[in-house]
Amino acid sequence: MLYMLPRKRAGEGEVVAAGCSFKKICVGEGLASPSDTSDKSSLGGSGRAHSNNSFTIGNSSSSSQEQVPIAMAMGDGNPPHIDEDLHSRQLAVYGRETMRRLFASNVLISGMQGLGAEIAKNLILAGVKSVTLHDDGVVELWDLSSNFAFTESDIGKNRALACVGKMQELNNAVLVSTLTTNLSKEQLSEFQAVVFTDISLTKAIEFDDYCHSHQPPIAFIKAEVRGLFGCIFCDFGPEFKVLDVDGEDPHTGIIASISNDSPALVSCVDDERLELQDGDLVVFSEVHGMTELNDGKPRKVKNARPYSFFLEEDTTNYGFYQKGGIVTQVKEPKVLNFKPLREALADPGDFLLSDFSKFDRPSLLHLAFQALDKFVSDVGRYPIAGSEEDVQKLISIADGLNNGLGDGKLEDINPKLLRFFAFGSRAVLNPMAAMFGGIVGQEVVKACSGKFHPLFQFFYFDSVESLPTEQLDPGEFAPVNSRYDAQISVFGSKLQKKLEDANVFVVGSGALGCEFLKNLALMGVSCGSQGRLTVTDDDVIEKSNLSRQFLFRDWNIGQAKSTVAAAAAASINPQFSVEALQNRVGPETENVFDDTFWENLTAVINALDNVNARLYVDGRCLYFQKPLLESGTLGAKCNTQMVIPHLTENYGASRDPPEKQAPMCTVHSFPHNIDHCLTWARSEFEGLLEKIPTEVNAYLSNPGEYTSSMRNVGDAQSRETLERVLECLDRERCDTFQDCVTWARIKFEDYFANRVKQLIYTFPEDAATSTGAPFWSAPKRFPRPLQFLASDPSHLHYVMAASILRAETFGIPVPDWAKHPHKLAEAVDKVIVPEFQPKEGVKIVTDEKATSLSSSSIDDAAVINDLIIKLEHCHNTLVPNFMMKPIQFEKDDDTNYHMDLIAALANMRARNYSIPEVDKLKAKFIAGRIIPAIATSTAMATGLVCLELYKVLDGAHKVEDYRNTFANLALPLFSIAEPVPPKVIKHRDMSWTVWDRWIVKGNPTLRELLLWLKDKGLNAYSISCGSCLLFNSMFPRHKERMDKKVVDLAREVAKVEIPSYRCHLDVVIACEDDDDNDVDIPLVSVYFR
């Protein structure tokens, strides 16, 4: 059966099912500051073709091809088009070549319970060519707690047929079809990868043998989740080539010196750490003097250090190193020799570990899963939850298998663990399915593309710590004819009741938020009469969200994320009690998320995309002593952190170091990598097209007030702002589109010729510093001015983008000829470019610590007055009510020319400094500060968090039961560890942590508060409320406040407005003990009513 929906996503072309050919219109080329982490996209023109994209920038049309891995049978030779607007975040992880391979890959997924559904979702979102869903079983009530595509009306229907409609909705560019009968091994030849989630070992061995020996080999993956236990086996063929083992960009360094020695010592500038390892291969380029190294031959590194390394080469007779040089890591393909399943079962090799506290667990689970397969083969069913008879039978089978292992026999088969394994063996839990669905989905991507290192070959995982801490009666696991029966068979009915009655706050409903809402609805969280889930997000849905925020569809574009996500989650489980809000969580919304709201919560789940918001929610959870389940993703990486009151440290207890910022002088005059060029380009874009037009409008709106303000400030920055406003309205004012072309052409001359001529006039190539060292030494690169050529497509593309955007700011219509190269070139030829002569005495900032390029002068005030007079004269020449139209940078609309201009500016500047150029897509990632994101790591992170949520809602687990995780699906690497306990502070016989808050009741005076502390052996010398000081022992006048109520002081001195619902005031107190040692005490809450 073939199922296709008639709808298609906005901006995509037809999907032609019959011949499996796809026509898609390419409409888009697409970490983070708090203001720029959400996906921002304009909806205008999303369905337009690229008729206006006649030019290419950099290497955007590169035809270089990576070698296709042997385990992958590619489709036809025509590379499919990539909708870069839709897949921009995924492209930032995979790149175009990997995406093209994915788009040509056909995948089979057999077994459509929860795990199969999760894998299918992730692959359909990723955009493979086709996904075939196979299952010959029917939907049971039991399945509703793990498969988001099933509803109660599907009970009795074939699982694959019940799934296919909702799966197809996820991405209409992927052909989703079904198979509902028994599979034959010959049918597998139609696929590049096959995944089995519910198959016997006997059948798996038969299918894997066929796949392993097929030419080309077919990637075979066997995965299953059984309660809180899971396993994965991968076989990608006898010789599988991994094209990129980790997905990271090759490391580079700027050379400072190379010795004539054996081995040769290579030192690099301390701009950035080298990150090379012993044995890495590197190539050299741009080396002056020792030119023998510029031959492109890979050379081996040894004794790698942060800023230097040795070469396994004798350079004694090479030329003497003079200057310059770039060293670049060479990433070589790796060939893996997979064993077929029948061999790997007996000789599994090294298991991929995830939790080092369970070092011996994989071997035991390897045995347990084989024992379970034999149990099902012998008995014809899975063990029944609560049945001790079935447990003993499974243990007996495991013991027999273990005794036959010879030297590999396990000393202890852990009957207690096997009991847990048996009880939950029939259940597919949603969190386990989500986690394993992310891992397996990523393995399929690896198999189809050769991108990232595959799992080699077995992976076992368990989360028995998620089980309730109390011993449960076997009757607790009995089914109650509920959609949660599978979950009850693992955790018992008491914990299920706690899940249903939980009051949960989910902050954010983007990629993480969508996955969380789906998981929580399936688990039954907040689905009872007492339960309530609140989700909030102030963002709206954009096209770029659709490739991973799976609750959204193209017809939801422009709607509130939280509203759509909540409605979609409620359709998964009609009992889901969810309220959607559109409020940002922060100090400004504490009237919405007030004390009562926080106090009534059971747990908080963060699904945020910026650190500041995370820190605020962390502070609220700390204050109200609520568990916080934190997670985040970055490309193929993800992490989870549990913040549990009094058991763990809080999120804000440890912070990543701030990102290193390039000095301003480097960005403006001495760039040495493309990031510097793109930072400069975006700054110029915002200055020319947003900031200056905004300043012009501020002046035109109220000239008198504006000029008066500038006079009053009277500094160099005010002078410079007025100069730019005047320049925009006078010398650079545009009245026709030809004026805009003239402006763009003269800007080219200014940016890429005149400024460079001035720079190398001020600092010639042989210039020296005050110490006599060469001025143009690494990392500085000596620039060359560009000469404008209308025959150069990149030069002309710059003029087109710049003139179109300039016309937009002045409200000038763009003529059709603006987008035709020959006619635009004719318009450029009409421009008279003034001659330029470098000047003496021009000051160019070279101080890396400088924060401004503006230089003050003695007569700033006089210059400002003169500028204001000229501005008033210019104002009189404008048409009545003239206002400019500032342009705000928008990276996700490929028809708006924003990224065209930024990429062109950056690449022309890169050309000045002989820096490798980038295409528009790469420019968008860097200048747009796009966070790389894929559905697989998101799914895995949320699955791991929900496994922890069982512990949180059970409420009786110790810190050693909780787990924090860092994972990198590219390697793959899983690092799971216990959370760090909070720091304990001790004083006398007291101890406290960051989770404690001291409470003082009775509306005390300042004197009474100080005495209350004195009784604890603490001498308070400073008390503050917010940013205001209520008391400091150094200030004599503060002693007059001693008999005032603390709350009255806060109102009078700190101007605190206390809401009517609040009964207390929080103060921060600095104390010393009797020996004058500072003591950090908890926040103090003073209750006054």
d(CA 15, CA 36): 34
d(CA 206, CA 7): 40
Residue 270, both tokens: 């301390």
d(CA 1075, CA 1017): 10
d(CA 357, CA 353): 10
Nearest in space to 130 (alpha carbons), one of 163, 108, 98: 108
Please state the φ and ψ torsions of residue 134, each to the nearest 5 degrees. Answer: -120, 130
**CA-based max dimension of the chain:** 99
Q: Do 547 and 127 meet the contact criterion of CB atoms below 8 Å apart?
A: yes
Point out the residues that are catalytic: 665
d(CA 260, CA 311): 11
Pairing of strands 281-285, 299-302: antiparallel
Alpha-carbon distances, residue 85 vs 510, 564, 887, 930 (angstroms): 17, 21, 20, 12
d(CA 241, CA 333): 7
Question: Alpha helices of 811-934 — where are they, by DSSP H?
Answer: 821-829, 860-875, 898-912, 920-927
Q: Which amino acid does the sequence have at 549?
A: Q
Residue 1089, both tokens: 């009513």
Per DSSP (E only), the strands in 872-1001 are 964-968, 973-977, 985-987, 990-992, 997-1000
Helix 793-810 to helix 737-749 angle (10° resolution) is 130
Pairing of strands 1019-1025, 1064-1072: antiparallel
Nearest in space to 373 (alpha carbons), one of 199, 537, 117: 199
> DSSP letters along 244-256, please?
BSS-PPPPEEEEE
Question: Alpha helices of 197-353 — where are they, by DSSP H?
Answer: 201-213, 341-346
**Residue-wise burial string across 297-332, b where 16 or more C-beta atoms lie within 10 A, e elsewhere:** eebbbeebeebbbbbebebeebeebebbbbbbbebe
d(CA 562, CA 557): 13
Helix (H, G, I), strand (E, B) or coil at 82: coil
d(CA 661, CA 670): 14
Q: 3-state DSSP: the chain helix, strand, coil percent, rounded to 5? A: 40, 15, 45
Alpha-carbon distances, residue 839 vs 465, 711, 760, 987 (angstroms): 73, 30, 11, 69
Nearest in space to 696 (alpha carbons), one of 568, 839, 811: 811
